Amino acid sequence: MKDIDCLIVHPTTRIKTRSPTNVLTNVILPMGSIAIADYIDRNGFSTEIVHTGLEELLNSSFTIEALFKEYTPIVLGIDLHWYPHSYDALRIAEIAQNTYENIFIVLGGFTASCFAEELLKKFEYVDAIVKGDAEIPMLDLLNALPSQDLSSVSNLFYRENGSIKQSKKNYCPSQEQFDSFNFHRISLLRNWYNYLQLTHENDDLRQKLKRQGWLCVGRGCAVNCSYCGGGHNAQCLLTGRSMPLYRSQEKVIETLKVFAEMKISCAYCDFDPFGRKTREYYFKLFEMIRKEDIDISTQFLVWDVTSKKFLEEFKRTFNPLFTTLTLSPESGNETIRKLNKGFYYSDSELFSWLNLAKDNFIPIELYFTTGLTGETVKHFGETLQLGKKVVQEYPNIVHIACNPIFLEPGSPRFLDPQKFGIVLKFQQFVDFYLTYKKFALGVPVSSRLGYETENMSETDIIRFASHFNNQMNLFTQ
Partner 1 sequence: MTIQLDVRLPLSLFRKVPFLFTALNYKSFPMGTPFDYLTFMNENIPVFLPLTLYHKEGNSITDLLFVFSFPFIDADGRLAIYLTHPVWLEKSDFSIIHTMLDELNNYFSEIGEVTLHLELQVILPSTSSPSYPTSLTHFSYDAKKLSDFTFPLKEYHTQLQEAGFKEFSRLLCYECEIETLLKKLHVSDQMLPYEILKEIKGKNLSISVEDVTPSDMIVKNYSFADQLSFISPQYTFEVGDYNIISFYGKEFVGFLQWTPNLFELPKITLPIPFLYPDLIQTHQFTTGKIFRFGLKIEDIDLFKGLLHKTVLTMSEKGVNTCQIGYIDEQNDFLTSLLDRVGFNVIHSLQILQKEV
CA distance 376 to 371: 9
Nearer to partner 1, 101 or 261 (CB): 261
Binding mask 179-198 for partner 1 (x = CB under 8 A): --------x-----x---x-
Nearer to partner 1, 266 or 461 (CB): 266
Among 9, 29, 139, 266, the residue binding partner 1 under the rule CB under 8 A is 266
Q: Which of residues 387-426 bind partner 1 (CB under 8 A)?
A: 395-396, 398-399
Binding mask 116-135 for partner 1 (x = CB under 8 A): --------------------
- Residue 453: φ, ψ to 5°: -100, 170
Q: Which of 203, 235, 228, 269 is nearest to 369 (CA)?
A: 228
Instruction: Establish if 315 lies at the interface with partner 1 (CB under 8 A).
Output: yes
3-state secondary structure of 270: coil
Part of the chain binding partner 1 (CB under 8 A), chosen from 249-257, 330-338, 361-369, 434-442: 361-369
Nearer to partner 1, 392 or 457 (CB): 392
Instruction: Establish if 265 lies at the interface with partner 1 (CB under 8 A).
Output: yes
Binding mask 136-175 for partner 1 (x = CB under 8 A): ----------------------------------------
Among 200, 232, 241, 279, the residue binding partner 1 under the rule CB under 8 A is 200
Part of the chain binding partner 1 (CB under 8 A), chosen from 80-88, 116-124, 151-159, 205-213: 205-213
Q: Which residues contact 155 (CB under 8 A, 6 or more apart)?
A: 130, 131, 132, 133, 134, 137, 167, 169, 170, 171
Q: Which residues contact 338 (CB under 8 A, 6 or more apart)?
A: 344
Per-position DSSP letters for 110-144, written without gaps between them:
HHHHHTHHHHHHH-TT--EEE-S--HHHHHHHHHH
Nearer to partner 1, 111 or 297 (CB): 297
Rounded to a whole number of angstroms, the minimum distance from the CB of residue 43 to partner 1 is: 21
Rounded to a whole number of angstroms, the minimum distance from the CB of residue 200 to partner 1 is: 7
Q: Are 99 and 80 in contact (CB under 8 A)?
A: no
3-state secondary structure of 298: strand
| Size of site (CB under 8 A) for partner 1 | 39
Start-to-end Cα distance in the chain: 55
Q: Which residues contact 292 (CB under 8 A, 6 or more apart)?
A: 253, 256, 257
DSSP H stretches of helix in 116-269: 116-122, 135-144, 175-179, 192-198, 232-239, 249-261
Other beta carbons within 10 angstroms of residue 447's beta carbon come to: 14
Binding site residues, partner 1, CB under 8 A: 187, 193, 197, 200, 202, 204, 206-212, 258, 261-263, 265-266, 295-297, 299, 315, 319-324, 358, 361, 363, 365, 395-396, 398-399, 476
